[in-house]
Amino acid sequence: MRAPILYSAWYRNFASFSSESIRNFISKLKDTHFDGIELSIDYPLYFKVSAQELVTHYLKHEGLYLSIHLPWRDLELASPVEEIRKASLNVVLKCINELSKLEPRYFILHLTTEQDFCGYMNKDCIKSAKESLSEIIKQCEDVSIPLLIETTHDKCCSNEDTLPYILADFKDEPYIGVCLDPIHLLSRRIKMWGSGEDIVELVKSLPPIIIDRVEALHVHNYRRLSYGLTYVHLIPDDDVLKDFMEIIRYLGNRVKIITIEVYKDLSGKDIDINQLRHVVMTLKEGVAGHT
């Protein structure tokens, strides 16, 4: 079975959250040949349960997939400050409980903290991340929805250096997987070392414990700015699409879902979802040829 191609949708895609705006967006989604959405429950959308239910209603009516990206702004699940960690955890647990009735295919999670110095030399953040993850997994098991940890830019504990320590403690847990975002990891390397590398080689250099747990892939592009900064979530050009197709071939049948997480064109201007038709069709043709 071919991995479905989803779009990373958030509150801007639904305008006023009216029935008409949601229906129009999902119609454009189908016209662009997407198979569904990864719904980002952030900004005001988390507090508009009726809007989430309406989005899900129209997706199911059209036979489209739903995954849910759990909140991440203002949340620090890996914080070594216990009060902050517990407050963040309570929000995520409440969100999982309330949104499980929408029956998403996956929940996507950022397991992070804003701490500047954190990693293999300071395990407080990793310990906090494990404590949060343990409780989140129990909740996911209760509602029978798998959880995927997304690889992030430069925060502990979802990067390539710290995530293996967390996954090692949950190696026999079937409800935990990885949502691999190669561009996030590339932007982190550019920030740390001042130079990037081919994203295919980056993925091939990742620890096996990460690769073996990959179930989802985020696709987008980036542009280098000054001082080691990058501008991400841009539309992929043909060269980047070729790189992602090679990554998909390398990962093989591990990839169960692919999400196009693109909001801007290469000049930084907002895009309309219809502009992603070429990206969608290229990925679909490539994935079909691979399988």
Domains, the chain, in order of start with CATH, read 5-290 (3.20.20.150)
Residue 28 near residue 277 (C-beta atoms within 8 A): no
Give pLDDT tens digits along the chain (291 positions).
789 999 999 877 876 678 888 899 999 999 999 999 999 987 645 556 677 888 899 999 999 999 999 999 889 999 999 999 999 999 999 999 989 999 999 999 999 998 866 555 568 899 999 999 999 999 999 999 999 999 987 778 888 988 999 999 999 999 999 999 999 999 888 777 676 678 999 999 999 999 999 999 999 998 887 766 778 899 999 999 999 999 999 999 999 999 999 999 988 899 999 999 999 999 999 887 665
| pLDDT attached to residue 228 | 60
Spell out the residues 6+ positions from residue 61 whose beta carbon is closer than 8 angstroms to its own.
none
Displacement of CA 183 from its chain's centroid (Å): 11
Residue 132 near residue 124 (C-beta atoms within 8 A): no
Instruction: Tell me the C-alpha distance between 112 and 131, whole Å.
Output: 12
Instruction: Tell me the C-alpha distance between 284 and 270, whole Å.
Output: 24
| pLDDT attached to residue 290 | 64
Residue 157 near residue 150 (C-beta atoms within 8 A): no
Neighbour count for residue 243 (Cβ, 10 Å): 20
| pLDDT attached to residue 209 | 97
DSSP 5-29: EEEEE-GGGGTT--HHHHHHHHHHH
Q: Nearest Cα to 105, choosing from 219, 256, 1, 251?
A: 256
Instruction: Tell me the C-alpha distance between 200 and 32, whole Å.
Output: 27
| pLDDT attached to residue 205 | 95
Instruction: Tell me the C-alpha distance between 38 and 290, whole Å.
Output: 23
